[in-house]
């Protein structure tokens, strides 16, 4: 009896512990929002069933994706081919904003692609730079800049306005239009007139252009410092550039501008301008040092004969 009673007591204690554990788990399930309350019978019905077996029939499966039509697939592939490939911008960075000059200098006015900023020792270089390759006339003809000139956008814009307005009008007087601009020098990191130790030239700031000649569409060329070119034509060019640019240097300004015209947009106090270009007259014709040869068909000269020995007087030539 005692053995039987002891076994019964142990069974009762075991069941009591199971009930207490099940109750605790049921309370925990209520606190965490369990979707399925704990069934106390699960602890007495033998080994638990697999979780997937209990819930497999309750979880709805997604609907199968409809097959795309061949037309839609072809359109998607074609759009991928035609889409331009653009370089990805670095995360958190925006492309630099264009200056007002860069926005105004469109391809209808000049072929002048932007180039990277230049920062060289001694203050050389600048920002908002372009490579002026050609000026586009109102009739869409292009005036090539040979070779292309690296310039500040403001200087390139001033050159384009000068050619499109003044140079076109000057060329029309000769029944033609401009076709080319002879670039003698543009950006160059150097001092004034290449003198060692001189202050920085406007060429070193990409703010100057040296022009040697203007080529016309009819094949003629206007060499701006050539004295054989009509003075009226050279004077017209001089007046146009002195009205538009801050500095104009040409013949008789110094020994460095006898074969080209220097143009720049240097900033000075009170917008002071310099126009030093002496439009020289054609050189005078020099008389030949030796007399001209006597023509073969000229009549013979009559020479006086001596009147005896001892040297008398000679008759004057007739």
For residues 131 and 232, membership in a common domain is answered with yes
For residues 19 and 118, membership in a common domain is answered with no
Top-confidence residue, 71 or 225: 225
pTM for this predicted structure: 0.61
Q: What is the pLDDT confidence band of residue 184, given thresholds at 50, 70 and 90?
A: very high
Average pLDDT over the chain, rounded to an integer:
79
265 falls within a domain? yes
Question: pLDDT, tens digit, for every residue of 229-286?
Answer: 999 999 999 999 999 999 999 999 988 899 999 999 999 999 999 999 999 988 777 7
For residues 115 and 31, membership in a common domain is answered with no
Maximum distance among all Cα pairs of the chain, rounded to whole angstroms: 201
The count of structural domains within the chain is 2
| Residues 6 or more apart in contact with residue 313 via CB below 8 angstroms | 307
For residues 34 and 104, membership in a common domain is answered with no
Top-confidence residue, 200 or 83: 200
313 falls within a domain? no
Query: Is residue 223 within 8 Å of residue 231, measured between CB atoms?
Result: no
Q: Count how many Cα atoms sit within 13 Å of the Cα of residue 226 in the half-sphere of its side chain.
A: 12
Phi and psi at residue 244, in whole multiples of 5°?
Answer: -110, -30
Query: Is residue 228 within 8 Å of residue 236, measured between CB atoms?
Result: no
Query: Is residue 233 within 8 Å of residue 260, measured between CB atoms?
Result: no
Q: What is the pLDDT confidence band of residue 158, given thresholds at 50, 70 and 90?
A: very high
Question: pLDDT, tens digit, for every residue of 14-51?
Answer: 666 666 766 666 566 555 454 455 454 554 455 555 45
For residues 149 and 32, membership in a common domain is answered with no
Q: Which two tokens stand for residue 126?
A: 């600048």
| Chain-centre distance for alpha carbon 127 | 11
Provide the residue range defining the domain that includes 188: 100-276
For residues 156 and 20, membership in a common domain is answered with no
147 falls within a domain? yes
For residues 9 and 158, membership in a common domain is answered with no
Nearest to 55 by CA among 34, 40, 69, 72: 34
Peptide bond into 147 cis (omega under 30): yes
For residues 240 and 110, membership in a common domain is answered with yes
216 falls within a domain? yes
For residues 259 and 136, membership in a common domain is answered with yes
| Exposed/middle/buried for residue 14 (C-beta within 10 Å: 0-12, 13-18, 19+) | exposed
* CA dihedral for 221, 225, 228, 230, sign (positive or negative): positive
For residues 143 and 222, membership in a common domain is answered with yes
Q: 203-225 in b/e burial notation, b at 16+ Cβ within 10 A?
A: bbbbbbbbbbbbbbeeeeebbbb
Q: What is the pLDDT confidence band of residue 224, given thresholds at 50, 70 and 90?
A: very high
271 falls within a domain? yes
DSSP letter at 36 equals S
Beta-strand ranges (E) seen in the chain are 110-111, 114-115, 118-119, 125-126, 129-136, 142-152, 178-185, 208-216, 221-223, 247-249, 261-264, 274-276
245 falls within a domain? yes
210 falls within a domain? yes
Nearest to 150 by CA among 174, 183, 107: 183
Question: pLDDT, tens digit, for every residue of 104-148?
Answer: 999 999 999 999 999 998 889 999 999 999 999 999 999 999 999
For residues 169 and 263, membership in a common domain is answered with yes
SS3 content of the chain, % helix, strand, coil (to 5): 35, 20, 50
For residues 171 and 265, membership in a common domain is answered with yes
DSSP H helical segments within 152-275, as ranges? 153-162, 168-172, 231-244
Percent of the chain predicted with pLDDT > 70: 63
225 falls within a domain? yes
Count of positions (residues) in the chain:
318
């Amino acid at each position: 009896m005692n053995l039987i009673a002891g076994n019964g007591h142990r069974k009762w204690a075991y069941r009591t512990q199971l009930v207490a554990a099940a109750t605790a788990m049921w309370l925990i399930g209520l606190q965490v929002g369990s979707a399925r309350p704990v069934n106390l019978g699960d602890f007495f019905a033998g080994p638990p069933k697999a979780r997937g077996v209990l819930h497999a029939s309750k979880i709805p499966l997604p609907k199968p994706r409809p097959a795309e039509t061949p037309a839609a697939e072809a359109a998607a592939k074609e759009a991928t081919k035609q889409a331009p490939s653009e370089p990805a911008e670095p995360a958190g960075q925006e492309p630099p904003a264009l200056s007002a000059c860069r926005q105004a200098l469109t391809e209808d006015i000049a072929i002048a692609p932007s180039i990277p900023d230049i920062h060289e020792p001694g203050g050389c270089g600048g920002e908002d730079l372009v490579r002026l390759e050609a000026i586009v006339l109102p009739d869409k003809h292009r005036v090539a800049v040979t070779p292309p000139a690296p310039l500040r956008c403001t200087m390139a814009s001033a050159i384009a306005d000068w050619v499109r307005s003044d140079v076109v009008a000057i060329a029309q007087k000769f029944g033609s239009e401009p076709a080319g601009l002879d670039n003698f020098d543009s950006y160059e990191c150097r001092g004034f007139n290449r003198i060692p130790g001189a202050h920085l030239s406007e060429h070193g700031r990409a703010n100057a252009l040296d022009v040697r000649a203007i080529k016309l569409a009819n094949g003629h060329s206007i060499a701006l410092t050539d004295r054989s070119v009509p003075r009226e034509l050279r004077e017209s060019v001089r007046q146009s550039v002195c009205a538009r640019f801050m500095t104009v240097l040409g013949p008789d300004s110094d020994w460095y501008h006898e074969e080209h015209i220097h143009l720049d947009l240097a900033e000075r106090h009170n917008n002071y301008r310099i126009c030093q270009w002496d439009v020289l007259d054609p050189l005078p014709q020099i008389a030949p040092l030796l007399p001209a040869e006597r023509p073969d068909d000229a009549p013979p000269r009559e020479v006086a004969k001596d009147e005896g020995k001892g040297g008398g007087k000679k008759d004057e030539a007739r």
